[in-house]
Amino acid sequence: MSQNRHPLILKKDTSALLIIDIQERILKVIRNSEDMIANVLKLVKGFKAMGLPIYTTEQYPKGLGETHHAIQAELGDFTAVQKMTFSCGGAGDLFGEFKNKGLTQIVVCGIESHVCVQQTVLDLIHNGFQTNLAADAVSSRKYSDYDLSVSRMRHHGAEITSTESILFELLEVCGTDEFKAVSKIVK
């Protein structure tokens, strides 16, 4: 592309997907969990089609269970980063790994939006990462918690966007094999 692109538009070489705590036992009480999981799966498939890095965390898996089976199946061979902190900033050296790999634009999805997702987003921003919240791929038990947390994250600098917007930003152009694969995913 010959023109200058807006610096907040996602780029393949600096982007990663972070799936936060989408675990079996808590999903029963999460609002719109089926739609949320469907959008997370679109993100996973799209990131895989483009060969982009995907990270997954699990909060206290002994109590909350493993990552949702459909997400596990789509990810294939993966290892979730285990954590006891609400923020993924306490999940080993995850933020350090992002920095070491030059990943400056982190796409976030998961649960719960007002707890682990919000604390992670705020910590990512504070540590210099551009954070893109897939608002249709996060949820909480109550709509009011979801709504307030999205407003707070936006206020503090998170880019609030959607699954489809994220995938097409990363594609940048149409007519490629990646575009054809992602187009099938979002339909």
pLDDT above 90: residue 56: yes
81 - beta bridge partners?
57
Classify residue 46 by burial, with Cβ atoms within 10 Å: 0-12, 13-18, 19+. buried
Do 6 and 129 contact (CB within 8 A), yes or no? Answer: no
Cα dist. 26→94, 111, 140, 158 in Å?
23, 9, 10, 25
- Sheet containing 130-139: which strands, arranged edge to edge? 81-83, 54-59, 15-20, 105-111, 130-139, 159-161
Question: In the prediction, which pLDDT does 2 show?
Answer: 56
What percent of the chain is predicted at pLDDT more than 90?
71
Q: Which two three-digit tokens encode residue 79? A: 């290892």
Nearest C-alpha neighbor of 18 from the set 45, 49, 44, 39: 44
Q: Helix, strand, or coil here: 51? A: coil
Domain limits, the chain: 12-186
Phi and psi at 51, nearest 5°, equal 70, 35
pTM: 0.94
**Kind of pairing between the strands at 159-161 and 130-139:** parallel
* pLDDT tens column, 150-181: 999 999 999 999 999 999 999 888 888 878 88
Q: Using one digit for the tens of pLDDT, what is the confidence trace for 62-72?
A: 878 889 899 99
CATH topology of domain 12-186: Rossmann fold (3.40.50)
Mean pLDDT of 37-43: 97
Q: What percent of the chain has pLDDT over 70?
A: 99
pLDDT tens-digit profile of 71-103?
999 998 888 888 989 999 988 899 999 999 999
For residue range 130-142, list pLDDT tens digits in order. Answer: 999 999 999 999 9
Residues paired with residue 153 on neighbouring β-strands, in sequence order: none
